[in-house]
Every structure is written in C-alpha cells, then in structure tokens.
C-alpha cells in the first residue's frame, strides 16, 4: 500500500470525515486516493487560508480532530495563518502539506520550501517525514499531540516520494481521544475554601467555559457572585440570566466595566480566560487590583502573565467546575441571591439607518436559534455591545487572533458541523474581498448559509480607529463603491441589496434563509458613528508611552 493511501486508511479508522484544502501536485497521492474513500469528503476551498479557518471551526463544533491540506511552498505558507488562528483558540487541527521529493531537496525544485520550521512557532508539533515507513506513525503521533493536554494544531510535511513509497502499514489500536491535563485536586480544594470564606467576588469567564455555562451559573448561585464574560465568550451566556452582568473588555458594557473596575469585590475568579488584551480592557490594572485572584485554566502558561494569581488551578474546566461545586457544597455553601447592575432587556431597533439598528433588526427577523459567525469588522463591536444572546452558543467572534475574512469560513464550517442550526455569517466588504470567494465553496457543497455583507466601501475599523486617534484618515482607506449583490448574482447565488432600514424586511430575509444553498444579503451603509470599541483607541494612543 502506498504510504499516502495508508494515511487515508488511518483517517478512516479515527473518524476523519472531511479534508479542507486545495489539491496540488505535491498532494496527488492523497487526493487521488480519496476516490476510493467516499466517507472522507474533500472540501475544496478557494484559498488555503480559508481551509485553515474552516478546519479550525470544524474542530470546534464537531469536537474532534480536523484536517487541512495544502501544497508544498505557497499552499503551505497560505495555511500558516490558519494554524496560528487554531493555536490561539486551542483547536486540534492537523495541517498536512505536500513537499518536493527528498531527492530534489536543495535543487530549487518547483514550490520547494522546508515549511516545518515555519509551522513550529504556531503548532504543538511540526515535522517533515522523510521515510515512507514513518509517515503513518508520525501522523498518529501528531494527532495525539494535538489532542493531548491543551488541544492545538500540529503539522506534517509529506514529500511526494514518501507518499508514494510502498509500505506494509501498522495502525495503532489505541483509540484517539482528548486527553486533558490532570486536574490539580489539591488546588481545587484550596480554591473552594478561599471562595467559601470570602464575602464577595466576581466570576470572570472566558471561552474555556464553552459547554459548561450551567455549571458556571450554579457556582455563581452557591457563592452569590455575579458572572461577567470576555468578548470571545459573547454568545455563551444569555443576557436574561439574573446572575449575568455583561461583557467586559473590548466593546463591553459600560455598566460591566464600572462593576468590574470599581465594584467592591475582594475576590476575582478567572475561569478559562488567558486574560489577553481584548478580555481585560487593554490590561486594565483595576481588574485585579487589591483582589485575591484565583485563576483556573486548562493551559498553565496563561497563569501569572500580566496579572499575578494568588492561587492557580490547572485542569479542563469540564472537570474543574463540577469539582468546585462539589467542594463548596461539602463546605456548606447554599444558593444565594445575586445582584447585578446589568440591564438585560433586549434593545429594539430604531428607525435610523445605522449599523446598530441594522444588527438589532436582523436579529428580530432571523430565527432565535441562529448561530452568528462574526467577522473582523466594525460590526463586531456592535454585536458585542448591543446584541442579545437568545440561544446557546449564539455568537462566534474571534477577536483573539482577529484574522479578517476568517468569519466567512467559520460560518461554513459551523454549518457543516451542525447542519440543523440556522447559521449566518456577518462580514464587511474588506473581509469579503479577502475571502469572499468561499461563498462558491458553500454553493458547490450546497451549504445553506446566509452571508450578510456590511458594505461601506472602506476599511471600517481602520477608518474609525484613525479618526479617533489621529483626527484624520488616509484617502486610500476607502474604495470605489461596488455591488457585491451583483457579484453574487453573476455566480447564480440568490441575493438582495438593501440601502435603507425599511428595505430590510422579513420577506427578504426569509426568502434568503430558505434557500438550499448559500445566499447573500448586501447592506449598503456608511455609518460615521464611532463603533463602541471601549478603551481600544486609548490603548493604541498610549502604546508608545
């Protein structure tokens, strides 16, 4: 059996059902072999960068390893951003790249580049396999590393001669499963004791609590402490929950900022957050000032970076939170009322044609269970600040790595992983010009997804950022107006173009949502109101001080 075919056999055994990427000469063995593996579907994207984003989102929502593939040289370098994105989000993705035959290394072969060192900083493991008999074993090793401890991406480069080498493969019998770090039980007990004896505190939740929101709220009830979340955790907590006090950090609520920075809390319990720039309102010192800090996370490297912790708890929050609850109950904790200053009443759209009103009206026209994949545009600030969370896991907003165009691919992969859930992606014209052709990927695979494009003919976040910081903008930040709906029509994709708040109506939205494949809603809107970015501009202005 060719080593490349053995890789596909290995994928079948561990349950890989999709490979995101673009075929190329250096991957011929893999892609030809897929003809004989109908249970592994190649998702042929329009750019390898998008393939990386899709694989990351697919790993997130399918809760398993995902695979992205690209050619040697440029295909591999195009995948690098996707790997960095997956690394930042702790997502298990195997990045496979082709490579020139070992006999031609160093002779300036077409698309020759040793990319293993390039992937090393943005993966948990990166290696070029140089012998056919080692290929399956190295891929299995990489997959297990991706799912061991803190999940994350890995990379294997496969020279073409290695893929074509004939081998008698031996497949590992041990199942491939997630293997989180062992929970520090002693630290759990110590943290529970500290929480029990302290009179006041606040629970600060990041995306590490995904899937554990009921447990976070139970912990809140036992302590009588409110819960706030970071921007990337927007969508996990319903605004209507009486214990929830809003989003803190980038585009967070003013009442939440005041509660966190000025509230009389002696304890800060950080749950599943790396406490990065967007989560901490630009590393605001008042977050932890004069407070006893307990930090629980699956990744021990996030401890004591910017905010020294008095007590750290290493472990998967799926194990840590139930143990916190059990320990507190054993210590005699009982449910208590929680008071928050947060106004959870959903906002209503006004009549003025603004980004805020458009997003609020869209939410009223779309199904309550809609999942929103939000791209890196000025619209994300309005989503974080103004939109209500009406269903579980409602928003996907990757402000962590902040790759423009990633939201387009995230929406596609989320729909593939969870096909029954209504899904939309909200992007801007700038992001669409980067990765908008992935709408063709959605068309070719009949993925029913609504692409909402906020078209203001400029780089919105850049425009507003410069205006706020420098009181001027460069003329090149704006572009000549262009009809993206006409572009969709040329691709035979159902579309609509909206140029006023009245044109955004239920009939239009429902028609687009009822398609068997993708559809596009272009909203032509130039909103000169500064988006609610919070202290982001202050941070940029004072960065050199």
Per-residue pLDDT at 545: 40
pLDDT tens, 493-507?
999 999 999 999 999
Tell me the average pLDDT of the chain.
93
- Name the pLDDT band for 219 (thresholds 50, 70, 90): very high
Per-residue pLDDT at 537: 52
* Per-residue CA distances from 486 to 441, 458, 479, 483, 491 (Å): 18, 18, 17, 5, 9
Distance (Å, whole) CA 428 – CA 445? 23
pLDDT tens, 333-372?
999 999 887 767 789 999 999 999 999 999 999 999 999 9
- The tokens for 322 are 């139930």
Q: Of 251, 256, 258, give the one whose Cα is nearest residue 239.
A: 256
Quick one: what percent of the chain has pLDDT higher than 70? Answer: 96
pLDDT at 412 over 80: yes
* Per-residue CA distances from 483 to 158, 409, 502, 518 (Å): 42, 21, 19, 17
CATH 3.40.50.970 placement within the chain = 3-164, 355-537
pLDDT tens, 35-81?
999 999 999 999 999 999 999 999 999 999 999 999 999 999 999 99
Is 521:496 a contact under the CB 8 Å cutoff?
yes
Mean pLDDT of 232-260: 94
Is 494:471 a contact under the CB 8 Å cutoff?
no
Phi, psi angles (nearest 5°) of residue 279:
-80, -25
Between these two residues, 399 and 216, which has the higher pLDDT value?
216
Question: What is the chain's percent helix, strand, coil content, to nearest 5?
Answer: 40, 15, 45
Mind giving me the DSSP string for 330-356? HTT------------SPP---SS--HH
Per-residue pLDDT at 543: 45
* Topology at the third CATH level for domain 3-164: Rossmann fold (3.40.50)
pLDDT at 126 over 90: yes
Which class would CATH give 185-330?
Answer: alpha beta
CATH 3.40.50.1220 placement within the chain = 185-330
Q: What is the CATH number of domain 355-537?
A: 3.40.50.970
Per-residue pLDDT at 544: 39
pLDDT tens, 248-297?
999 999 999 999 999 999 999 999 999 999 999 999 999 999 999 999 99
pLDDT tens, 443-465?
999 999 999 999 986 666 676 67
Q: Of 314, 58, 318, give the one whose Cα is nearest residue 213.
A: 318
- The tokens for 82 are 């996707």
Distance (Å, whole) CA 362 – CA 396? 16
pLDDT at 101 over 70: yes
Distance (Å, whole) CA 530 – CA 314? 40
């Amino acid at each position: 059996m060719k080593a490349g075919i053995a890789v596909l056999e290995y994928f079948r055994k561990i349950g890989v059902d999709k490979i995101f990427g673009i075929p190329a000469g250096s991957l011929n063995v893999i892609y030809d072999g897929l003809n004989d593996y109908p249970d592994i579907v190649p998702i042929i994207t329009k750019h390898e960068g998008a393939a990386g984003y899709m694989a990351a989102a697919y790993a997130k929502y399918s809760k398993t390893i995902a695979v992205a593939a690209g050619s040697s040289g440029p295909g591999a370098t195009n995948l690098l951003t996707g790997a960095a994105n997956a690394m930042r989000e702790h997502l298990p993705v195997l990045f496979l790249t082709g490579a020139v035959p070992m006999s031609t290394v160093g002779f300036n072969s077409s698309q020759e580049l040793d990319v293993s060192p390039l992937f090393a900083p943005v993966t948990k493991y990166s290696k070029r396999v140089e012998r056919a008999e080692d290929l399956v074993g190295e891929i299995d090793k990489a997959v297990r590393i991706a799912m061991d401890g803190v999940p994350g991406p890995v990379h294997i480069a496969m020279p073409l001669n290695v893929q074509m080498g004939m081998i008698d493969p031996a497949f590992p019998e041990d199942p491939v499963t997630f293997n989180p770090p062992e929970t520090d039980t002693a630290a759990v007990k110590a943290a529970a004791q500290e929480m029990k004896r302290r009179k006041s505190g606040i629970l600060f939740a990041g995306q590490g609590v995904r899937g554990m929101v009921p447990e976070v709220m139970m912990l809140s009830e036992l302590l009588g402490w409110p819960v706030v979340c970071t921007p990337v955790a927007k969508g996990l907590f319903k605004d209507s929950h009486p214990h929830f006090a809003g989003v803190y950090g980038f585009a967070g609520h003013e009442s939440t900022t005041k509660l966190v920075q000025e509230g009389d809390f002696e304890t800060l319990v950080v749950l599943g957050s790396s406490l990065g720039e967007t989560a901490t309102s630009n590393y605001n010192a008042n977050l932890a000032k004069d407070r006893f800090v307990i930090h629980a996370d699956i990744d021990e490297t996030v401890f004591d970076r910017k905010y020294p912790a008095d007590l750290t708890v290493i472990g998967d929050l799926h194990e840590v939170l139930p143990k916190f609850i059990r320990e507190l109950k054993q210590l005699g904790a009982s449910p208590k009322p929680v008071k928050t200053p947060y106004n959870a009443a959903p906002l209503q759209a006004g009549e003025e044609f603004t980004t805020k009103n458009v997003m609020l009206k869209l939410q009223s026209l779309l199904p309550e269970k809609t999942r929103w994949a939000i791209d890196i545009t000025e619209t994300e600030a309005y989503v974080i600040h103004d939109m209500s969370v009406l269903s579980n896991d409602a928003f996907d907003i990757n402000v962590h790595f902040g790759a423009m165009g990633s939201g387009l691919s995230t929406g596609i992969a989320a729909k593939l992983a969870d096909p029954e859930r209504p899904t939309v992606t909200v992007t801007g014209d700038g992001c669409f010009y980067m990765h908008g052709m992935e709408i063709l990927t959605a068309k070719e695979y009949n993925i029913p997804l609504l692409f909402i494009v906020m078209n203001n003919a400029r780089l919105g976040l850049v425009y507003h950022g410069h205006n706020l910081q420098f009181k001027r903008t460069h003329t090149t930040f704006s572009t000549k107006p262009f009809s993206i709906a006409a572009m969709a029509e040329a691709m035979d994709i159902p579309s609509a173009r909206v140029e006023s708040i009245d044109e955004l109506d239920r009939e239009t939205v429902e028609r687009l949502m009822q398609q068997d494949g993708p559809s596009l809603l272009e909203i032509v809107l130039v909103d000169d109101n500064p988006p609610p970015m919070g202290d982001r501009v202050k941070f940029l202005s004072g960065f050199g001080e």
